[in-house]
Structure 1
């Protein structure tokens, strides 16, 4: 992109705002290097990164970016064998920690099933390097000082230093506290000169202490002397400090060597942290200016809804709607000076540059931006005194260069085209330039105050008029952009409002030719129709909001009614089931009582027993008509599962459910066909019996179909005997002449018990073991009366 164009469109000022959101010098450098991309793929990739950054901020509030340092120079010096100082090593460790923390933060979000593919790719390449981080932090504190614990040797040396210092200070303090010696001193203090402990001695008493003179006061009256008594200890102290320096250098050199070994990973980490900081700075900036992601295309089509210039205060900026590249490729904006034409032009240009840079735009959602190979702009007064060019010449020089470079993938912005020369010639020249740009296929937004261009769009396809609104009542612009309406001249109306004589205004109106008056009348009519359309739009929006509110209320009521209906159905079904169970229990109790009487010798004939049981079964209370409806509806709408037998209503055929395709759709086998059927198009008939774990008592309901065999395998002895008794009664009622009792071979106890029970049972005529194809000794066949 042309640097002059980006300066004119204030792209660099926008980047200054973006810089404030970078957390490190690495991120700031990436912002400073930011340039618009010229291909759709690159722009979309950067937009996608910004989208993921804003998703993280929306879900987590912030990203942990603290501690990132620019360690490129440190690592490069370590690579060539240089020794890093303690502060530089701490910056390396801090950056390693920052990378590890940010990597963990992103990976945790991904584990929570939050989709962040681009952030995941960036973070996964960050190497933790925990050993290097631990080694540095064990040797260096947060203030950049090497710790005593960095090595055993350093600990020992520093203990010696502290011991020597204490010894020296003790001896010197004895001298300063002595009343005999105090009169020889300028001050009773112990100080340091040339890294050695000394005392201030008056010049005339120099020989009283001996030792070494290290310094004197500016007046010469005081000498800073190291007494002979502490020279030896000071020498030992200096030797210990020299040993400390050597040990510290050894430790730093060793840590620098570890940095050298991990240099490639450190450089890669730093690159990725710079990218992540830059990515999140774009996300933070999007939040700050309340921006949204635009849809991108490379077809020259843009549609900014409620667009705001990011450099204008949010409280002052007036949002505008701009579109281009749909039914028209050139937009000509007319209107008075200071009405906002230039701001509109700059807004279109800057937002396009931002979109191509991967930044979100301060526009409403579903806005659209295009990626152009070049953006050209002629905005503002480019007059050059050094080149002795007039305003018109300066503009024309710039326009000539633009016209030589444009193509069908260009966006061209002209401010006050043709200005600075004779109005008639300027207007004619402006028309020709606009025609040339249109024919080149480039997209164009131009501003002008020439009245001759107001009718330009009406005579050419692919060109649209627009204007900035002006409030005649307040004599001030509203800064609103009106697409499809050319700007009208407000000179007469403004003059009238300012008190100019009506006679003068009428005389002036006569001087205006008929064509101009006709254009003004047309524009006035358009504005009136626009205002009427806006009022209708507001009314329609109000009616729509009321309708949506009513719709939501009705949906809520419907949901409440459905929930209430389901509750009633469930309660009715539960009550019906309880009544049935109660009646069955009572019937079973009656039968058991009769059987006990029979065992006790009472004369009760078997057919009377069966008839009594039948009467008990007939005595089970029938469901009411309402309960039957409830039951039927509940069965119809019961949850359908694979294996269920259903009736497909639209075909009138029965089938079996094979699989669940979605919440409301199932795969059903109809004969030889498999097809997907909606849940509402099916009625559940029955389910496949599911295998249940053995229970202590397995009663056979009188309403269930009785099978010709009873399987006792796995049953306990007592439970099996009760089950055989109940089964024989049900089999007699069902009219079976022969039944199979499957007890298995096992230990033989169950087989023996079954045979004894059958032998004594009054309804059993005889028994035999099963044949070769009937289970052999594991099955007993009973002949019923």
Structure 2
């Protein structure tokens, strides 16, 4: 909707329990920065922004429906690390590892989105836009991974100097331990040592010596036991070696710090990109959290409009357990812009108000709503609610005064682009005055064009909507037989008090009830009669609707049955046609084989008998050739392709009906030729002949092999159905392509079968220098039919 932009006050969000919805949505977040984004999520009041939020959520719902989940592991909120790097601070190895992990997670997510674009029939423009905006920081990831392992430890290979220092340190430590262990193995060890071990105190190697033998070893005492009976002594023989260890550790620390400072400077150069990356990952995580929340509860994405129109189909309150919630259809905002719900307390009127308000807030925040697909909501500039007892103790205000303060505040802020929710409007004061105030307030907000949903128990408002255009009454159904509400909303029907009916069912004397009815007045009785008539009409309408629905279901069933029978007929028809074609093909093939046998026999006769072939033998061969055709006595002429030029005597032709080549001898008529086929001469129609060009001498052809590489390599290779040699060749090429694409992990699908293909692939991987390792897939990845490969 157009108009002045107002903010949704935090009091309204609290009143409608929007904050609880946000808490549930945040539980589905997997990234701390995304969770923070969800916790700060407030409804938008700009129509284009709301449309974008809902489209993003709808794309996430589609992705979850197709893939089940999205890889979001390994992400850390590294913005504080990037900020400290910008301030020339030295990052720790753990912080650098978290930066690398986050970059890697973004790369995996980017590849995941790319595979969806390639493999799935789904449109996800918002996710594509975010993927395209991801900064590419592969160089920094590679630089960090070269120096720091996944546990946050600076590796020996980070620099040649560090490798040398640590090798010297390990050598020196080994010597010290060997020297001290010689003391623990000495013949006096059991007598002089408390325990035959080498331990460390103050970063120096020591042995536990009984106090009375301290002078035997000499050296430096670094600690003693709580009883004083054991001294941890560094013997003189290893003091100098321990000093050397200390010096090497200092050098090690200095080199580690140099490496960390160098890496921190690399982070500093791309700090802005890291901020952008984390913000984008947080946005994706927040969108997925909303979609996961909707999927978990089977909520749907509504359509939205800027016309103030609301149509909820089978909507429920999202905070009421699904087994207890009653679904209702609610529609207003076009011809009817104000609904007044009347009826007894505890009937569900307040729940209806909160359902409409909360669904509106959820939709304007891009969160799926608890209603059937096809529901529609309006985007309001503001939602205002006066629900419940908000009495101010500090101001010593009564319930009525407290509520009126809130209503006055609403009336000062609302406009025609607002949604107003009033619960028990005008309550807390004299019924007659309260009803008058309620009518006046409703006239005011309705006249200004706002969308209004109000509840009341005043009888004066029961006929309120019948004489005012754009207004209607509604009620919550009450079952007289069970003396309890059904919580079904009935739009167009005001609520009845049901006091007399309930009292009579509970055993109150009928004479007392009749006397009470006489006190209510004629108008009250007419209103109650009108309401009862409306309820009867509604029940008849519902009965007719149920019967119509049953007929519709039966019609749909018959339609489905007819469609199934028609499909079966078409399938049977296709089967018969296929069978007929196969039979015809078999006949033709048999005929062709027989014709070839005849020709072969004729050739053999010519070779064996030369020119002395008897006439009856030629006649018999001609008869066999005619009988070989599937059409019967005379083969049907086969239409030849358009000849490149008119046929001439001496031309070589293909006799299509026999599949043999021959030479044209003579043209006997405009349509017939005498053709020499081997030693046979036959009269063939020109339409059954096809000119054969004379073969030319082949020229040497120089070919150039061009290898065309696809611009994108998938994360898996499917070898099922491949021959063994072809599969190994494809595996070799695929591993090369994956290494060029900088993949660290890929999957090869070989199936289970006999296991020969699996063994061949794994044997190849075992001998590949760039394969770090491989394993069978997990159950969710394909089990023993898949090999997951880790690349260096």
TM-score by length of 2: 0.74
- 1:166 Cα deviation from its structure 2 partner: 2.8
Determine the structure 2 residue equivalent to 1:465: 473
Give the 3-state SS of the residue equivalent to 1:710 in structure 2: coil
2:297 corresponds in structure 1 to: 289
How far did 1:69 drift? 0.9
In 2, the alpha carbon distance for the partners of 1:275 and 1:385 equals: 42
Post-superposition Cα deviations, 1:334-378, rounded to whole Å, max 9, x if no partner, equal 111111111110110010011111122111111100000111110
Secondary structure of 2:671 counterpart = helix
CA contact (8 A) 1:712 1:742 kept: no
2:285 to 252, 269, 277: 277
| 2:2 corresponds to 1:65 | no
Alignment partner of 1:42 is 2:42: no
Alignment match of 1:479 (pick from 487, 500, 503): 487
The 1:724/1:581 distance shift into structure 2, 3 A limit, reads: farther
Structure 1 residues 477 and 716: CA distance shift in structure 2, 3 A: same
Q: Per-residue displacement from partner, 1:89-109 (whole Å, max 9, x unpaired)?
A: 111011011100000000111
2:311 is equivalent to residue 374 of structure 1:
no
Asked if 1:110 corresponds to 2:46, the answer is no
Asked if 1:421 corresponds to 2:421, the answer is no
How far apart are residue 575 of structure 1 and its match? 9.5
Partner of 1:32: 39
Q: Do the aligned partners of 1:72 and 1:267 also contact (CA within 8 Å) in 2?
A: yes
User: CA 1:5–1:711 in 2, change beyond 3 Å: closer, same or farther?
Assistant: farther
Q: In the aligned structure 1, how far is the partner of 2:94 from the partner of 2:584?
A: 82
Deviations 1:53-91 (A, max 9, x none): 111011111111111110111112222322111110111
Matched, 1:88 2:24: no
Q: Does the CA-based 8 Å contact 2:654-2:691 persist in structure 1?
A: no
Give distance in 2, aligned partners of 1:580 and 1:230: 99
CA distance in 1, matches of 2:460, 2:313: 29
Tell me how far apart the structure 2 counterparts of residues 332 and 46 of structure 1 sit (CA, whole Å).
32
- Structure 1 residue 576 displacement after superposition: 10
Q: Is the 8 A contact 1:209 1:228 kept in 2?
A: yes
2:25 maps to what in 1? 18
Residues 602, 190 of structure 1: CA spacing in aligned structure 2 closer, same or farther, 3 A cutoff? closer
Match 1:79 to one of 86, 91, 98: 86
Distance 1:160 1:622 in 2: 100
Q: Deviations over 1:683-706 (max 9, x none)?
A: xxxxxxxxxxxxxxxx99399999
The Cα of 1:536 is off from its aligned counterpart by 1.7
Taking structure 1 as reference, are residues 266 and 712 closer, same or farther at Cα in structure 2, changes over 3 Å only? farther
Alignment partner of 1:137 out of 127, 145, 158: 145
Q: How does 1:322-401 map to 2 (within 5 A)?
A: 322-401=330-409
Cα deviation for residue 153 of structure 1 reads 2.3
Q: How do residues 186-225 of structure 1 correspond to structure 2 at under 5 angstroms?
A: 188-201=196-209, 206-218=214-226, 222-225=230-233
Q: Counterpart of 2:306? A: 298
- Distance in 2 (CA, whole Å) between partners of 1:147 and 1:745 is 74
Q: Secondary structure at the match of 2:69?
A: coil
Distance 1:25 1:602, change over 3 A: closer
Q: What is the alpha-carbon distance in structure 2 between the residues aligned to residue 149 and residue 178 of structure 1?
A: 39
Change (3 A) 1:364 1:715: farther
Aligned counterparts of 1:520 and 1:33: Cα–Cα separation in 2: 49
1:252-291 alpha-carbon deviations (Å, 9 max, x no partner): 2222222223323322222211111111111111101211
Give the one of 530, 537, 540 matched to 1:529: 537
**Alignment CA distance shift 1:86-1:732 (3 Å):** closer
- How far residue 524 of structure 1 moved from its aligned partner, in angstroms, is 1.7
Partner Cα distance (2:338, 2:584) in 1: 76
| Counterpart for residue 241 of structure 1 | 249
Residues 697-735 of structure 1: CA distance to partner in whole angstroms, max 9, x if unpaired? xx99399999994379995699999464575444379xx
CA distance in 2, matches of 1:305, 1:236: 80
3-state SS in 2 of match to 1:23: coil
Matches within 5 A, 1:162-201: 162-178=170-186, 180=188, 183=191, 188-201=196-209
Which residue of 634, 642, 647 maps to 1:710?
A: 647
State the alpha-carbon separation in 2 of the partners of residues 745 and 207 from structure 1: 114
Distance 1:720 1:378, change over 3 A: closer
The aligned runs of 1:535-554 (5 Å cut-off) are 535-554=543-562
The whole-number CA distance in structure 2 between the counterparts of 1:289 and 1:239 is 63
Stretches of structure 2 that go unaligned for 5 or more consecutive residues are 1-7, 603-610, 616-626, 674-688, 697-792
In structure 1, distance between residues paired with 2:551 and 2:293: 37
| Residue 450 of structure 2: aligned partner | 442
For residue 176 of structure 1, report the CA deviation from its aligned partner.
4.4
* 1:713/1:742 contact within 8 Å kept: no
How much has 1:517 moved relative to structure 2?
1.5
CA distance in 2, matches of 1:705, 1:730: 18
Match of 1:519 in 2: 527
> Which structure's CA Rg is the greater one?
1
- Shift of the 50–727 alpha-carbon distance from structure 1 to 2, 3 Å rule, reads farther
TM-score, normalised by the number of residues in structure 1:
0.75
Q: Equivalences for 1:603-752 in 2 at 5 Å?
A: 701=637, 709-710=646-647, 715=652, 722=662, 724-725=664-665, 728-731=668-671
Over 3 Å counting, the alpha-carbon distance change for 1:495 and 1:724 in structure 2 is same
Give yes or no for contact 2:649–2:667 (8 Å, CA) kept in 1: no
1:253: which partner in 2?
A: 261
Greater CA drift, 88-97 or 189-198: 189-198
Q: Which one of the candidate residues 251, 255, 262 is aligned to 2:270?
A: 262
- How many residue pairs match? The answer is 653
What SS does the corresponding residue of 1:339 show, helix, strand or coil? coil
Match of 2:168 in 1: 160
Instruction: Give 5+ residue unaligned stretches, structure 1.
Output: 594-598, 604-615, 624-698, 734-740, 749-785
Post-superposition CA distance 1:205-258 (Å, at most 9, x none)? 554443223334556555443222221111111111111111211222222222
* Distance change (3 Å), C-alpha of 1:227 and 1:562: closer
Q: Equivalent of 1:127, from 114, 126, 135?
A: 135
Shift of 1:162: 2.4
Q: Does structure 1 conserve the Cα–Cα contact (< 8 Å) formed by 2:650 and 2:665?
A: no
Q: In angstroms, what is the RMSD of aligned CA positions?
A: 4.1
* CA deviation after TM superposition for structure 1 residue 151, in Å: 2.5
Q: Counterparts of 1:434 and 1:78 in 2: how far apart (Å)?
A: 60
